[in-house]
């Protein structure tokens, strides 16, 4: 991981200034001409491979910061900052902003953009040149909020990885493809309820937080975008099994979405009869389907399976997650986690890539 501080070495500023009005921040935020000029100078052309669509509308980034309820004491984590449209708006309000960027050219250029357009806050900005799916520690204080225009082709894996890796993230607001936003915020029984819905609900209370038009991006995408708000639950579901065991049940249940749970979980349990035994022990009908279950019911199935297999429970008040969170809460200075918590993109339901 490569972390780059921005600004002079004399240290961070004393804190964010009062949030500027729309009228007096026109020289700070990036407009359409600014974005195209920066891209031209850097020789950047947005790529479909990395889901790059740059926000060119200052009103949109102001709206995102307001909707995210970013506070003056927040340390905000941003993923895929691109040319810095949202980064600059976040720095106007938050105490610290750490941005994770995988693109070599964009990562090299962003600190200079912050220094040029918002020099008084440059000391409160850190750039991490890394793949967000591989980030396991961040410089500076642990993040309290995640606000991002996520790369659309990896939005769900990145979101779930960061929620698992940095338990201090209390509030999240992400901009994703509208279809993905619907899936993340879906409730049991919905046609779009699935793996992202359940796994996001493990960590957070999730809801749609608005729609974003296509004309605020360059290049304009062929799909609509949506905002999703996720507020961290005080504790993960109380359980004697590891989160990974619960997620394995979720993955199996939705891998064959149209089948009953007795059939869908046969591979996970060892047979249809074993799956039925586990389901009845969990108080779930073997004829039910995954789309009707809450995260609590998926947890009950994982617990019943562990009991019937004689698997010893992990330590901690809330299983493995509870023990990890308690340990991380005592770590000062740097947000850290074990590499064992890394989340592979292959472990999650994949987003459709956003056309550019």
Beta pairing partners, 208: 228
Domains of the chain (ranges, CATH numbers)? 2-232 (3.40.50.150), 243-328 (1.10.8.100)
Q: Name the residue with tokens 């999650």.
A: 348
Residue 343 clears pLDDT 50, i.e. is over it: no
Q: Is 235 exposed, middle or buried (0-12, 13-18, 19+ CB in 10 A)?
A: exposed
Q: Is 295 exposed, middle or buried (0-12, 13-18, 19+ CB in 10 A)?
A: buried
Distances (CA, A) of 183 to 35, 146, 197, 198, 297: 31, 19, 6, 10, 19
Structure tokens at 113: 């953009």
CA 222 – CA 245 distance, rounded (Å):
37
The pLDDT value recorded for residue 234 is 86
Distances (CA, A) of 26 to 22, 143, 233: 7, 28, 37
Residue 336 clears pLDDT 80, i.e. is over it: no
CA 168 – CA 166 distance, rounded (Å):
5
Does residue 19 or residue 119 have the better pLDDT? 119
- Give residue-wise pLDDT tens across range 242-287: 999 999 999 999 999 899 999 999 999 999 999 999 999 999 999 9
The pLDDT value recorded for residue 108 is 97
Q: Percent of the chain, pLDDT > 70? A: 78
241, HSE (Cβ side, Cα atoms, 13 Å): 22
CA 151 – CA 353 distance, rounded (Å):
9
Q: Model-level pTM greater than 0.75? A: yes
CA 329 – CA 56 distance, rounded (Å):
38
Residue 326 clears pLDDT 60, i.e. is over it: no
- Give residue-wise pLDDT tens across range 23-53: 446 689 999 999 999 999 999 987 665 557 8
12 — pLDDT class (breaks 50, 70, 90)? very low
- Give residue-wise pLDDT tens across range 65-97: 999 999 999 999 999 999 999 999 999 999 999
The pLDDT value recorded for residue 311 is 63
| Rg of the chain, C-alpha, whole Å | 21
């Amino acid at each position: 991981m490569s972390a780059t501080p921005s600004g002079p070495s004399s240290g961070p500023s004393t804190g964010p200034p009062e949030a500027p009005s729309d009228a007096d921040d026109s020289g700070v935020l990036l407009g359409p001409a600014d974005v195209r000029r920066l891209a031209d100078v850097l020789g950047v052309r947005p790529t479909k491979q990395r889901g790059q669509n740059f926000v060119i509308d200052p009103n949109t980034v102001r709206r995102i910061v307001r909707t995210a309820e970013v506070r003056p004491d927040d340390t905000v984590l941003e993923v895929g900052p691109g040319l810095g449209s949202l980064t600059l708006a976040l720095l106007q309000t938050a105490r610290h902003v750490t941005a994770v960027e995988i693109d070599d050219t964009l990562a090299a250029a962003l600190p200079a953009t912050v220094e040029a357009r918002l020099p008084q806050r440059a000391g409160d900005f850190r750039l991490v040149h890394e793949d967000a799916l591989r980030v396991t520690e961040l410089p500076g204080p642990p993040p309290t909020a995640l606000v991002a225009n996520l790369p659309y082709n990896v939005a769900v894996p990145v979101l779930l990885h960061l929620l698992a890796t940095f338990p201090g993230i209390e509030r999240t607001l992400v901009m994703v493809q509208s279809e993905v936003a619907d899936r993340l915020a879906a409730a049991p029984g919905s046609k779009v309820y699935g793996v992202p819905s359940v796994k996001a609900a493990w960590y957070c209370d999730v809801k749609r937080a608005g729609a974003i038009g296509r004309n605020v991006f360059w290049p304009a995408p062929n799909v609509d975008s949506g905002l999703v708000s996720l507020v961290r639950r005080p504790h993960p579901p109380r359980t004697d099994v590891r989160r990974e065991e619960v997620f394995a049940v979720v993955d199996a249940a939705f891998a064959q979405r149209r089948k009953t749970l007795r059939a869908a979980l046969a591979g996970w349990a060892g047979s249809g009869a074993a799956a039925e035994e586990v389901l009845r022990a969990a108080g779930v009908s073997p004829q039910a389907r995954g789309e009707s279950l809450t995260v609590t019911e998926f947890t009950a199935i994982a617990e019943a399976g562990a009991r019937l297999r004689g698997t010893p429970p992990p330590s901690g008040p809330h299983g493995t997650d509870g023990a990890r969170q308690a340990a991380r809460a005592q770590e000062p200075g740097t947000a850290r986690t074990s590499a064992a918590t890394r989340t592979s993109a292959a472990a999650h339901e994949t987003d459709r890539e956003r056309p550019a």
